[in-house]
Amino acid sequence: MFRVIGLLRKLYNIIIHSHALAGRMKDFKAYVGQRIPLNNRTRWNSWFYILKITLKKELEINKYIKANFNKLKEDYLSL
């Protein structure tokens, strides 16, 4: 259902995947160098920070996706 939204939903799915387990978060930080915060209803600019980090670390995030491709193949960030 949510995959219809496009790139933002894909990005959200990647963030949820990386936050799901402590080991995944450790792997994500090893690839990207930092966490990407989850969006929040009370922080109006939370999506801005998500997009800012993603644009800055796009190559590193794609390396993480490739390393976890069996789970994230539908969320690969491409235009």
Rounded Cα–Cα distance for residues 27 and 2 (Å): 25
Q: Is the pLDDT of residue 2 over 70?
A: no
pTM of the model: 0.80
Q: Which helix (H) or strand (E) holds 44?
A: none
Q: Is the pLDDT of residue 78 over 90?
A: no
Contact criterion met (CB below 8 Å) for 41 and 64: no
Q: What is the pLDDT of residues 23-61, one digit of tens each?
A: 999 999 999 999 998 887 777 788 889 999 999 999 999
